[in-house]
Amino acid sequence: MVRQILIKTGVLLLATMFTVGCTHTTRIGQPFMTVPHPGKYQLTYYTPSKEFPLYTMAIVDGREFLAMDDVVLPTAQSLYLLTHWKIFDGETVLDMGTGSGVQAVFAADKASMVVATDINPAAVKMANLNAERNGVNDIIDVRYGDLFAPINKKEKFDVILFNIDYPHNEATQGLWKLHERFFAEVTNYLKRDGRIYYQSGLIDNAARINAMANKNGMSILSMRMDVALEANRQPIVYLIKRSLDLELKTKAWNK
């Protein structure tokens, strides 16, 4: 009798596990590609699910991100930036070019406030949806607009993340104008000793990026690049700070 009960219990447990597993798989679709990446995050793309048949989906370390229309899902380059920024408890963050909102969602783990902006109305919609689905919509304020247009002139941030497409061939050289505008305005929105994590790519772009930073009173503190991602337009994450802040810190250390 006891043996029969145990067998029935085991069968019921297996059936329950199978049902739950099938339900979960149906809800998020089927995985069709895991993107190789040398950083600490894993990225997997999924087919559309029954719950969201019109959306594409990616999962980054267990967090779901939906996208539709021309909004780009997280990529290897997104994860590269995600891997190499650091945010401390209570800091304020500006995520510029938020797309599906992956940087903003992860930044909300530590930040007291994240403002996420995008010039694409569909991206604003997706970032809001993904913030809500990941339980951080109370921390993330998603705004529509071009570069700093949605930011109040009195707002300043500890950290600014920049993840907008960069010049990578002859057809995209016009993007330099956008990046020049960013460098010309960004220090107006940095708190004292604030920092910028700026992602570009291609080592050949480094000299021009350094010139833009220096022209606008900033210095590059570090550049992070991995050969493993060289085929993917050589993404590079630059840590940039205001030169005056660095000078003041140096003087304080030398006293």
The CATH number given to whatever domain includes residue 185 is: 3.40.50.150
Cβ of 181: how many Cβ atoms within 10 Å? 13
In a domain, 82, yes or no: yes
Residue 167's contacts (CB-CB under 8 Å, 6 or more residues apart) are: 173, 174, 175, 176, 179, 202, 205
Kindly state whether residue 245 falls inside one of the protein's structural domains: yes
Determine the 3-state secondary structure of 224 from DSSP.
strand
In terms of C-beta distances under 8 Å and separation of at least 24 residues, what long-range contacts does 180-188 make, across chains too?
Answer: 180/212, 181/147, 182/96, 182/147, 183/212, 183/213, 183/215, 183/216, 183/218, 184/216, 185/147, 185/148, 186/148, 186/160, 186/162, 186/216, 186/218, 187/216, 187/217, 187/218, 187/242, 188/148, 188/153
133 falls within a domain: yes
CA 199, 201, 205, 207 dihedral sign is: positive
pTM of the model: 0.85
Whether residue 28 is contained in a domain is answered as no
114 within 8 A of 93, measured Cβ to Cβ: yes
Gap between the Cα atoms of 78 and 89, Å rounded: 22
Domain membership flag for residue 80: yes
Single-letter amino acid, residue 171? A
- Domain membership flag for residue 130: yes
Total domains in the fold of the chain: 1
Give the range of the structural domain holding residue 135, as residue numbers without chain letter.
76-254
Q: Is residue 203 part of a domain?
A: yes
pLDDT (tens place) for every residue of the chain, 255 residues total: 433 433 333 333 333 333 333 333 446 678 888 887 767 888 999 998 888 899 999 999 999 999 998 998 999 889 999 999 999 999 999 999 999 999 999 999 999 999 999 999 999 999 999 999 999 999 999 999 999 999 999 999 999 999 999 988 899 999 999 999 999 999 999 999 999 999 998 888 999 999 999 999 999 999 998 865 655 678 899 999 999 998 877 767 776
